[in-house]
Amino acid sequence: MTTTSRATTTPNLDSAIVQKLQESLRGDVVQPGHSEYDSARTIYNAMIDKRPAVIVRCAGVSDVIHAVNFARENDLILSIKGGGHNVSGSSLCDGGIVIDLSQMKSVRVDPKRQTARVEGGATWRDMDHATHAFGLATPAGIIGTTGVAGLTLGGGFGHLSRHYGLSCDNLLSADVVTADGRLVTASKDENPDLFWALRGGGGNFGVVTSFEFQLHPVDTVYGGPIFYPIEETEKLLRFYRDYMRQAPDEMSAFFSFHQGPPAPFIPEHLHFVPMVAIVTCYSGALEDGEEAIRPLRAAATPAVDLAGPIPYPALNGMFDDLFSPGLYHYWKADFVPELKDEAIAVHTEYGPQIPSLHSTMHLYPQTGAIQRVGKDESAYSYRDMEYVHNVVAVDMEEANMPRNMTWMREYWDALHPHSAAGTYVNFMMEDEGQDRVKATYRDNYDRLTQIKKTWDPDNLFKSNQNIRPKA
């Protein structure tokens, strides 16, 4: 099995130099031997076991500047940890320096302008909590513990994206510490090339210390999962495809396979039983939600129907306990131009075979407001897709991963011929290769390499799905 455990050697960093770094910081430095070293190098995906030489737990922008300068001057590999959720493990590095932003989590909401300023280590749970007090939100991912930073920089979609676009479409500006240790602001008026690249180009261009987002009136929504018997898979997928093609933008629903979680709201006879789950969110007028979801309820008889009025942050945190940190993950995803009958046949074959409580397949809609931004208006190129499918092998026990990964690989191999060449950058694993990165950015790749050359000519920021500086 592939794990990301690598060499454990660390470069000979002169302790006096590290001491000097520590003295320049308000945050702290954690190195091997420190009592918190192991917890500081533990991230969401338990498959990742990397041993950085230095972890800088930054307390603010000036710490980030010192850490970037330190990495460059000492020729160290550098990685950036926002929420630490990326399953590829790119937020950590072996033998280098980690810029850990997990202590920079503040969110400041401006209710008048309906904007929020969020620090680079905040999670969507932090963000949702702060904005919900004002009946506001911006498109996020579907798990509250995911970092705002990594998700937004790679694009970012979730329950609100058909209505309000990708997370990166709602970015108004970003403060960025660049490879040469400067702090710059990127927006449509200031450093517009950098702003273009940040919206989908990942962590390639600098350390984003804060993001400014546009918010929208989102308070209590009508949504939640509806579970159906697995035997209804094919019928439901065909229905779901047609339903989503005519659904208003306010309606989001992703299709998935899950074993019934052993939770009090699931009848005991359905625990660990494979089911279809369609996870709904209607973010228009609350009184219209029931009617919008009615066709899904009528498409087949639900086994468990949990959809109803729910505060948006509660919907966004509903799966946090199921997908808690410390599970073993390996994912494979693709963009899907249109959901073809052939792909429905593949889902119908493999979906019912989900091998664990946590392994799953999610089919996320990419339509509505996402498609109203042009392919070249930001780095995020795949604006003409109907879905992203993501087949994930997840288990509590490492020993069970081979079984989960066999299912995942066979499933993905069968789906891939019905998909686009590129994939969603935030669902990529470390070993997918440079051609896959290029395929993901399509016609935007060349412009990204030029912008990379301007802002990071020596590729200091390369622990990511890397965009290489133009030669």
Ligand X SMILES: Cc1cc2nc3c(=O)[nH]c(=O)nc-3n(C[C@H](O)[C@H](O)[C@H](O)COP(=O)(O)OP(=O)(O)OC[C@H]3O[C@@H](n4cnc5c(N)ncnc54)[C@H](O)[C@@H]3O)c2cc1C
What residue ranges bind ligand X (CB under 6 A)?
A: 44, 79-87, 90-91, 101, 120, 141-143, 146-147, 149-151, 153-154, 156-158, 202-203, 207-208, 323, 426, 463-464
Nearer CB in complex with ligand X: 68/136: 68
Measured CA to CA, the distance from residue 198 to residue 283 in angstroms comes to 27
| Minimum gap (Å) between residue 186 Cβ and ligand X | 12
Measured CA to CA, the distance from residue 407 to residue 427 in angstroms comes to 18
| Minimum gap (Å) between residue 297 Cβ and ligand X | 24
Nearer CB in complex with ligand X: 202/469: 202
Measured CA to CA, the distance from residue 449 to residue 435 in angstroms comes to 14
| Minimum gap (Å) between residue 122 Cβ and ligand X | 9
Nearer CB in complex with ligand X: 207/460: 207
| Minimum gap (Å) between residue 64 Cβ and ligand X | 9
Nearer CB in complex with ligand X: 141/225: 141
> What does DSSP assign to residue 208?
E
Nearer CB in complex with ligand X: 158/317: 158
Measured CA to CA, the distance from residue 284 to residue 163 in angstroms comes to 9
Measured CA to CA, the distance from residue 97 to residue 80 in angstroms comes to 9
| Minimum gap (Å) between residue 48 Cβ and ligand X | 9
Determine how β-strand 115-119 pairs with β-strand 107-110: antiparallel
Measured CA to CA, the distance from residue 313 to residue 315 in angstroms comes to 5
Nearer CB in complex with ligand X: 13/77: 77
| Minimum gap (Å) between residue 382 Cβ and ligand X | 12
Q: Where are the alpha helices (DSSP H) in 376-441?
A: 401-415, 434-441
Tell me the three state secondary structure of residue 399.
Answer: helix
Nearer CB in complex with ligand X: 300/423: 423
Reading across the β-sheet that carries 97-100, which strands appear in turn?
28-30, 54-57, 97-100, 78-81
Residues facing residue 227 across a β-bridge: 277, 304
Residues facing residue 222 across a β-bridge: 282, 309
